[in-house]
Amino acid sequence: MEDLGHALAEGGAGMRMLGGGNPALIPAVTARWRERMAELLAEGERFDRALAVYDPPRGNARFALALAGFLQREYGWDVGAEHIAITGGGQAAFFYLFNLFAGDFGGGRRKRVLLPVVPEYIGYANQGLGADFFVGAMPAIEHPAAHAFKYRVNFERLRVGADIGAICASRPTNPSGNVLTDAEVAQLDALARERGVPLILDNAYGEPFPGIVFTRIQPVWNENIVLTLSLSKLGLPGTRTGIIVAHPDIIRAVTSMNTIVGLANGNVGQALVTPLLESGELRRLVTEAIRPFYERKAANARAWVARYFDDALDYHVHASEGALFLWLWFRGLPVSSEVLYERLKARGVLVVPGRPFAIGCAEAEAHAAECIRVSFAMEDAVVEEGIAMIADEVARIYAGG
């Protein structure tokens, strides 16, 4: 993060920024947010309220009603405003949720969070207020084609012990772009219910928005599922708007946390998006602009990997089913992913090494140490050049250079 921050602060001069999670500037989407900002300015009193009045700790009431109505229309979910809370970004949402369901409960009782597919989102790793906070599970690995692989939940080996306070998975997964199937989600939900713990689904890249999913899925929610959403990948990361959809008891607890930690959340993101939820325009923005843009970017990135990587190398690309990344596995890599990261950085390419994504799972560390995460959200020329340089550096390493 420090390297990424320095590169961004310095304008990224000479650095191919393939390491961050910042969304792309999609022209049609950027234009719409500029229009919405102008509309908000013209609304006078609503603009004043967005900038000069604290919203309630749970979030803006009109936004919550609009989102509830959107989810009812889209999926038929029995969701009301009482099921929705806003947080200061997705990271804050997970800090609240993880420490609500796991940690030290007194009297020698400790709970942990189970991650059923590791590698998993690096941002979870240090969220727990205590050590040994996560239990990660190594997935089954399928090889559907040459140089291709995919993770599956290994239910035969998955154990939900008495010390588990919640199950959590991202869909699509950052870093791998893996999308849990409907059957996998249903089985995880059944396991969570059987153990009396919530299933947390992180939809930061998923349905219903921003909808960066390239495979067919059915979004799901019930009062044992905690669904998290974000406005960031809609092109609004600067508004820091996270969303939790959950049982009202959980929403009340999160609201109390908001009150203590930050008093209230940012208003601007909610003010910008509310009319698009009410009118249904947000769905059109997702299906006509955001998803096609990233689907094209993903296809281009995969094509460049196929073009520049030596077919004789033992490299594998995870199925690109969603999100903004390619997850590259170099089986038998002679150096660690951290060493590869440093060598690439010296050549002007920033990626993210894989080992830190192996959260709570020693078995996954050796595998993740052979992986890197590559963002394809930057301009095409930058992504292509970066992938070509990664291919060249990896070939040098395998050749002993």
pLDDT of residue 108: 84
Type and span of the H or E element at 245: strand 242-245
- Sites in the chain below the pLDDT cut of 70: 1-13
> Is 262 a domain residue?
no
Domain count of the fold of the chain: 1
pLDDT of residue 1: 54
Sorted by sequence, the CB contacts under 8 Å of residue 170 that are 6+ apart come out as 120, 121, 201, 202, 203, 204, 205
Q: What is the reported pLDDT for 400?
A: 87
- pLDDT at residue 2, as a whole number: 61
**Residue 195, in any domain of the structure:** no
Residue 337, Cβ neighbours under 10 Å: how many? 24
Name, in order, each residue with C-beta under 8 angstroms of 120's C-beta and a sequence gap of 6 or more: 136, 169, 170, 173, 357, 359
Residue 309 lies in a domain: yes
Q: Which domain holds residue 356?
A: 2-30+285-396
pTM recorded for the entire structure: 0.94
Longest dimension (CA), the chain: 66
Segment 62-105, tens digit of pLDDT: 999 999 999 999 999 999 999 999 999 999 999 999 999 999 99
Task: Report d(CA 370, CA 354) in Å as an integer.
Answer: 7
Joined together, the tokens standing for residue 236 give: 């609004």
Q: DSSP secondary structure string, 30-73?
A: HHHHHHHHHHHHHTTHHHHHHHHSPPPTT--HHHHHHHHHHHHH
Tokens (6 digits) for 144 = 């559907």
Residue 64 belongs to a domain = no
Which pLDDT belongs to residue 263? 87
What confidence score (pLDDT) does residue 5 get? 52
Domain membership of residue 381 (yes or no) is yes
Residue 24 lies in a domain: yes
Q: What pLDDT, in 10s, does the model give residues 365-398? A: 999 999 999 999 999 999 999 999 999 999 999 9
Residue 178: inside a domain, yes or no? no
- In the numeric block, the tokens 């369901």 are attached to 101
Per-residue model confidence (pLDDT) at position 271: 96
Residue type, 222: N
d(CA 80, CA 262): 24
Is 331 a member of any domain? yes
Q: Name the H helices within 102-174.
A: none
Q: Alpha-carbon distance 5 to 382, whole Å?
A: 18
The Cβ of residue 91 has, within 10 Å, a number of other Cβ atoms equal to 17
Return d(Cα 106, Cα 104) in angstroms, integer.
6
CATH of residue 344: 3.90.1150.10
Query: What is the per-residue pLDDT for 14?
Result: 73
pLDDT of 185: 98
